[in-house]
């Protein structure tokens, strides 16, 4: 297991030589691959989101497709469709770009509800339905979706049910001055020379190793207590958040806090989860699952700060 962990660390080191200043995003992509979850990446254009996903697919030897979401995108453009052959006098299935292992759903909030529904089935069930037949998707199947935080023209808000399907939502910020200076000297040839370090077998080994990380009953109780404390009406809910929180996190939040904390522990070389491992992922796991009241949104209260405060109160 130590060897596989070292290879995962090597993947991150190689990726950091090409993608500067986005270490958290690169680690989150690895976490999504190992924990078999989907990732929502929010950030301004030009911050290396597409490049990061492309590079990680190369280093992990995975099939990769990028789908640009637009307002006129149809479900068939995503999952495929039935085509009638006059010569054979029968229908055949044309599979869409979602039939891959790593899907980059670029600007996911630009597509209408029907496309979102088709993607939701793929994310939830790891299958798609074309005509009257369902087709299983390859494993691992991970959706890495991006959205622009400020541009609202021609966008559709993602429904809460779909947001909840993402194990984490991470915010990508501008790189610091040194990282941006390094970007100036980046040669595209260095990207082409990247060779695979991991593969499906090694990712599976890493996944099995993550599952073996020990989690004490007290840590499990703490995870459940934190999630319950985000829900109005729960006995753990602090009344001071009555005017701030409209709806709390679902049980999926507990599942992902548990799984990703184990991944964090393994990456740190530990065989058990500590409260610090849980606290380090509270913001990306809970931030998109807790719904603030209208008044709190008007006051520009940051939901990530709220969930972090709640977690600290319930350690």
Q: Counting Cβ atoms within 10 Å, is residue 111 exposed (0-12), middle (13-18) or buried (19+)?
A: buried
CATH 3.90.700.10 fits 213-313, yes or no: no
Cα–Cα distance measured from residue 289 to residue 292, given in angstroms and rounded to the nearest whole number: 10
SS3 106: strand
- Directed axis angle between helix 23-35 and helix 49-59, to 10°? 50
Q: Which of 14-23, 150-159, 247-256 has the highest mean pLDDT?
A: 247-256
Residue 188: pLDDT band (50, 70, 90) is low
Whether the pTM exceeds 0.85: the reply is: yes
- Provide the CA 303 distance to its chain's centre, in angstroms: 18
| Phi, psi angles (nearest 5°) of residue 65 | -130, 140
Q: Could you please report the per-residue DSSP string of 14-68? A: HHHTTSTT-HHHHHHHHHHHHHT-EEEEEE-TTSSHHHHHHHHHHHTT--EEEEE
Predicted local distance difference test score (pLDDT) of residue 189: 63
pLDDT value for 255: 96
Structure confidence at residue 303 as a pLDDT band (50, 70, 90): very high
Closest-CA residue to 99 (of 71, 131, 72, 126): 126
| Chain mean pLDDT for the chain | 87
- Domain extents for the chain? 2-204, 213-313
Q: Are 254 and 223 in contact (CB under 8 A)?
A: yes
Residue 1 per-residue DSSP state: -
φ/ψ of residue 281, rounded to 5? -120, 5
Residue 61 clears pLDDT 60, i.e. is over it: yes
pLDDT at 38: 93
SS3 136: strand
Question: Residue 108 has what DSSP assignment?
Answer: G
Angle at 311 between CA 305 and CA 315, to 5 degrees: 150
Q: Report the pLDDT value the prediction gives residue 305, as an integer from 0 to 100.
A: 93
Q: Which two tokens stand for residue 83?
A: 């085509």
pLDDT in tens, 107-143: 888 888 888 888 888 888 888 888 788 889 888 899 9
For the segment 1-18, what is each residue's pLDDT rounded down to a tens digit? 677 788 888 888 888 888
Give residue 269's region: left, alpha or beta (phi > 0; psi -120 to 50).
Answer: left
Top-level CATH class of 2-204? alpha beta
Burial of 16 (0-12, 13-18, 19+ CB in 10 A): middle
- Is 59 a residue whose pLDDT tops 70? yes
What is the phi-psi region of residue 131: left when phi exceeds 0, alpha when psi lies from -120 to 50, beta otherwise?
A: left
User: What digits encode the pLDDT tens for the residues 137-171?
Assistant: 888 899 999 887 765 555 667 777 788 889 999 98
Q: Is the peptide bond before 224 cis (omega within 30 degrees of 0)?
A: no
End-to-end CA distance of the chain: 30
Residue-level pLDDT at 110: 85
What pLDDT does residue 153 have? 56
Query: Which range has the worst mean pLDDT, 18-22, 149-153, 200-204?
Result: 149-153
Going by the DSSP 8-state scheme, the letter that residue 158 receives in this structure is: P
């Amino acid at each position: 297991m130590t060897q596989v962990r070292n290879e995962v660390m090597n993947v991150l080191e190689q990726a950091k030589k090409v993608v500067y200043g986005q270490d958290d995003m690169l680690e989150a992509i690895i976490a999504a691959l190992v924990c078999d979850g989907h990732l929502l990446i929010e950030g301004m254009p030009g911050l290396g989101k597409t490049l990061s996903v492309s590079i990680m697919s190369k280093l992990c030897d995975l099939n990769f497709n990028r789908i640009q979401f637009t307002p006129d995108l149809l479900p068939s453009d995503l999952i495929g469709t039935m085509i009638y052959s006059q010569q054979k006098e029968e229908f055949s299935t044309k599979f869409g770009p979602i039939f891959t292992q790593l899907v980059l759903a670029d600007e996911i909030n630009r597509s209408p509800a029907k496309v979102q529904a088709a993607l939701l089935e793929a994310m939830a069930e790891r299958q798609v339905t074309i005509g009257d037949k369902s087709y299983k998707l390859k494993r691992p199947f991970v959706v890495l979706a991006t959205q622009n935080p400020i541009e609202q023209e021609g966008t559709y808000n993602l429904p809460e049910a779909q947001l909840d399907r993402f194990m984490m939502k991470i915010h990508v910020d501008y790189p610091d001055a040194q990282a941006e200076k390094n970007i100036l000297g980046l040669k595209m040839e260095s990207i082409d020379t990247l060779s695979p370090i991991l593969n499906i077998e090694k990712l599976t080994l890493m996944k099995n190793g993550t599952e073996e990380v020990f989690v004490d009953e007290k840590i499990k109780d703490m995870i459940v207590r934190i999630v319950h404390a985000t829900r109005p009406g729960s006995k753990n809910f602090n009344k001071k958040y009555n005017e701030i929180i409209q709806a709390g996190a679902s049980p999926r939040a507990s599942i992902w806090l548990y799984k990703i904390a184990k991944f964090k522990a393994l990456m740190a070389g530990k065989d058990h989860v500590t409260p610090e491992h849980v606290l380090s992922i509270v913001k990306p796991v809970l931030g998109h699952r807790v719904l603030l009241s209208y008044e709190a949104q008007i006051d520009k209260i940051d939901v990530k700060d709220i969930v972090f405060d709640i977690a600290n109160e319930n350690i």
